[in-house]
């Protein structure tokens, strides 16, 4: 049984649940902007797929369809955004990503800004609109939307460059 609600997509993130349980998970990167390719990947039983917007030729429209394809098979879709940018993070999560992978983290300030952009108040400063795929396109139960999103969203940070490594 999938953890879904038609208003909110996947209410529980199966990848986050498995990680919290200490389970081993596996999944590939996908740089091909295709919902069909994502569907094929998800049908293999993989736990997640990483949709790479930094190095792939993806639009947010193609990514949204790829997320749907993954979710249809109970697979979590993580989006590697092109850069540590509040707008990129917001758009990836609003279209339904189970989490974001944020590159080019070089300082504690970068890391804190990235996490804040991915979480709603009180955990962060993510911009709010219930009229998104993640919000069920409705003002119905706004508090539930914020709570679900904060609970299920995975945030991964990629420390890059000499400064990123040295700043820890």
Average pLDDT value for residue range 30-57: 97
In this prediction, residue 139 has a pLDDT band, given cuts at 50, 70 and 90, of confident
Number of structural domains (the chain) is 1
Cα 23 from Cα 17, distance rounded (Å):
9
Cα 164 from Cα 94, distance rounded (Å):
28
Query: Which CATH number goes with the domain that contains 98?
Result: 3.20.20.60
Residue 105 is part of which domain span?
A: 4-167
The predicted-structure confidence for 110-126, as pLDDT tens digits, reads as follows 999 999 999 999 999 99
Average pLDDT value for residue range 126-136: 89
Q: Using omega within 30 degrees of 0 as the cis cutoff, is the peptide bond preceding 122 cis?
A: yes
């Amino acid at each position: 049984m999938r953890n879904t609600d038609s208003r909110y997509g996947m209410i529980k993130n199966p990848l986050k649940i498995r990680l919290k349980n200490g389970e081993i998970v596996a999944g590939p990167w996908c740089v091909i902007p295709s919902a069909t390719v994502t569907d094929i990947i998800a049908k293999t039983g993989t736990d997640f797929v990483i949709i790479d917007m930094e190095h792939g030729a993806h639009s947010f429209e193609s990514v949204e369809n790829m997320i749907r394809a993954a979710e249809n098979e109970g697979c979590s879709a993580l989006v590697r955004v092109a850069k540590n940018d509040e707008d990129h993070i917001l758009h990836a999560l609003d279209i339904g990503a189970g989490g974001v992978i944020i590159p080019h983290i070089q300082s504690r300030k970068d890391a804190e800004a990235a996490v804040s952009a991915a979480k709603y108040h009180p955990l962060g400063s993510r911009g709010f609109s219930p009229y998104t795929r993640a919000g069920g396109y409705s003002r119905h139960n706004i508090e539930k939307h914020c709570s679900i999103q904060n609970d299920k969203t995975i945030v991964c940070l990629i420390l890059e460059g000499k400064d990123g490594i040295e700043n820890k």
